[in-house]
Structure 1
């Protein structure tokens, strides 16, 4: 089973939930798909090793074959190719790697080059862990996220720590999963962004439920909204000094507060009942 842990905004406790849930289960993988800022490893105490380099197509134009017809530039949705009267220019920072230019070139003047998008690192103890690391300055994170998700194994339960927000990276991480946990906080900002996340998940037609983190710091509008919309709340995690102290030391709180491990196991059991 693949469970994505997502949130409409950063800082709600998404990684906290993903790590503590993974450490509470057996036969588990944890995939950190927040490739711009992967941070699950800070709580796992693993020595990570480079596992794979993630590359994408980058056009290389043969000046001998190119007749400057401009068809590649005309069809490039990203404006990554500009054809001047003297030369065809490729702007690698804009290229999405779709390779459409290569397929439409009537002179077969576009050759296949490679662009490094990032890498995958891995390690394991009682959790098999992989994270994606986006290359500095690279604007396209979705291919790296897809590469991390390919590490998922059918014979293991997989927890996916998704990027925050509701854009392409979050959609890429959440799509094709069996269930999505939406982590929020009891604040006006938390509720506002939760609503956008729910719209995203409904479009993807994935079963979901909510966890409220840092309960007690705000109001009860999230609970009222979920009750009105008949959205299950799987768990509330209190605004607790001990949890915060452990977090500041990079210690998952299920390691020091054993009752929470039982609660995360029960949460997993609830999820299995909610999946059609």
Structure 2
């Protein structure tokens, strides 16, 4: 089973839910931090990292002895990573998505691929939890190759939890694809409701069963609760505004370690998802 944890915006408590859910599981679990631009699950899991693997993306390389400057490569590139000007082919590596289309469609076979490192995947463990995180290189624009490399680590593991990036952009969609269930974490505010609606649209488009975790549930207004009733989306768990949780978070401690009574709450969340 693959459970992804997502949110329409940052700051809702997505990583808090992901890490505490992994810590509470009674079975073998793999936690994968797919928020590769700003991974922070390690701050709470405090894993021992055992392997670090570089991640590369393919970049087109032009053989000017074969190139006729027909501009077919630039025409098919949706991301404007190639431009043909007179007798020059300009390659903008930072725009390239590494799809390989230009290499396949060049009529002269003048394009091959070189490889550029875009990040790393780190793997280790935190207690009984297998831990994986991706780290995108600073200034690198394309998170996709690193997220794909992180997800490849699942490799038929029976139970994986994916901590997705915030928002509803392409890296989020790539993370959620293939999930059996998605937990959407939100808070009872107008901003929380607005961004939750965007996230619900995404998971519905992907056809992924989903439910809501409402963080700081006893603050704000009832807009999220009313929306979930109208849309028949189950609210799987409500976390209260608790100063002890905030204090544990500020220390980098897990809720279920600092406040063991919450361990049962997260275990019930897993049971709800299984049902």
The runs of 5 or more residues in structure 2 that have no matched partner are none
Match of 2:32 in 1: 31
Match of 2:11 in 1: 11
Match of 1:53 in 2: 54
> Structure 2 length as normaliser, TM-score?
0.96
RMSD between superposed Cα atoms in Å: 1.2
Contact 1:50/1:119 (CA < 8 Å) preserved in 2?
A: no
Higher mean displacement: 41-50 or 239-248:
41-50
Match of 1:201, SS?
A: helix
Confirm or deny that 1:217 pairs with 2:215.
no
Match of 2:261 in 1: 259
- Summarize the alignment of residues 100-179 of structure 1 with structure 2, pairs less than 5 Å apart: 100-124=101-125, 125-179=127-181
1:212 to partner: Cα distance: 0.4
Contact 2:30/2:157 (CA < 8 Å) preserved in 1?
A: no
Match of 1:103, SS?
A: helix
Q: Distance in 2 between matches of 1:164 and 1:212?
A: 16
Q: Deviations over 1:223-254 (max 9, x none)?
A: 12112222111111111100000000000010
Q: Distance in 2 between matches of 1:73 and 1:267?
A: 50
> Structure 1 length as normaliser, TM-score?
0.96
Aligned residues: 273
Q: Distance in 2 between matches of 1:36 and 1:149?
A: 15
Match of 1:172, SS?
A: helix
In the TM superposition, structure 1's runs of 4+ consecutive aligned residues that sit over 6 Å from their partners are none
Q: Distance in 2 between matches of 1:84 and 1:231?
A: 53
1:83 to partner: Cα distance: 1.4
1:99 to partner: Cα distance: 1.1
Match of 2:142, SS?
A: coil
Q: Distance in 1 between matches of 2:185 and 2:267?
A: 17
The runs of 5 or more residues in structure 1 that have no matched partner are none
